[in-house]
Amino acid sequence: MKTIVHMMRHGEVHNPDQILYGRLPGFRLAENGQAQARTVADALAGHDIAAVFASPLQRAQETATPIAAAHGLEIITNDDLIEADNQFEGLRVSVGDGALSKPRHWSKLRDPFTPSWGEPYLQIAHRMLSAAALARKTAAGHEVVCVSHQLPVYTLRRFLEGRRLWHDPRIRQCSLASLTSLVYDGDELVDIVYSEPAGASDPRITGA
């Protein structure tokens, strides 16, 4: 029995101040993000989508909306899909003019391997595994979409591929509104397929 769990990153966010918004409320999709969500909904229109899950954050819920509507489904909110916790939340973190230039923040950078500035990578991987397992069980034999965030989706992929979890965020392969699709044969993960129905985006842009 084949089941596909599409782990989707939300679309572009309206973030004129270019802060790291993390789990802060009130960050909606930009007009381009809304278009990206519709593009992915169109790309998945002919797919056998049996359920749509989403992070509780506004940008994820808005990204999930056109996909759920296209298949006559209600969005199922799952807290395990939420953005990673981060001590730089609410700050600009670009090199040279942001929080990273201030000595008071340097202690947060002492351990990039865990990391010391936020939710541990392993904890992110485990909760995303739980989200994937629930989605697979809910839509067994069909396809399911889980709308989450860049770091959680990419951390899950690295964990499943057996790679180290710490990494350079500037080279993440997880564009806005991209799909990291987990393909299962019964309970066994047999493939991971990455695609960008809404096009590529630059992972180096803070707050995208």
Task: Give the rounded percent of residues in the chain with a pLDDT score beyond 90.
Answer: 73
Question: pLDDT tens digits for 30-49?
Answer: 999 999 999 999 999 999 99
Which residue segment(s) compose the domain that 138 sits in? 2-195
Predicted TM-score (pTM) of the model is 0.91
Across the chain, where does the E strand assignment appear?
Answer: 2-9, 49-54, 75-77, 143-148, 179-185, 188-195
In this structure, is residue 201 part of a structural domain? Answer: no
The whole-number pLDDT of residue 97 equals 57
What contacts 154, CB < 8 A, 6 or more positions away? 167, 172, 173, 174, 180
Average pLDDT along the chain: 90
User: Is residue 206 domain-resident?
Assistant: no
Q: Note whether residue 204 is domain-resident.
A: no
Rounded distance between C-alpha atoms, residue 175 and residue 179, angstroms? 8
Residue 94 has pLDDT above 90, yes or no: no
Q: For residue 77, what pLDDT is reported?
A: 98
pLDDT greater than 70 at residue 205: no
Task: Give the number of domains in the chain.
Answer: 1
Token pair 């040279």 is found at 96
> Quick one: pLDDT at residue 208?
47
State the CATH number of the domain containing residue 70: 3.40.50.1240
Q: What is the dihedral of CA 151, 157, 162, 166, to 10 degrees?
A: -10
Q: How many angstroms separate the CA atoms of 180 and 77, rounded? A: 19
Is residue 98 very low, low, confident or very high in pLDDT (cuts 50, 70, 90)? low
* C-beta of residue 33 within 8 angstroms of C-beta of residue 59: yes
- Is residue 172 pLDDT above 70, yes or no? yes
- Confirm whether 207 is domain-assigned: no
pLDDT at 103 over 70: no
In a domain, 205, yes or no: no
Name residue 143's beta-bridge partners. 4, 49
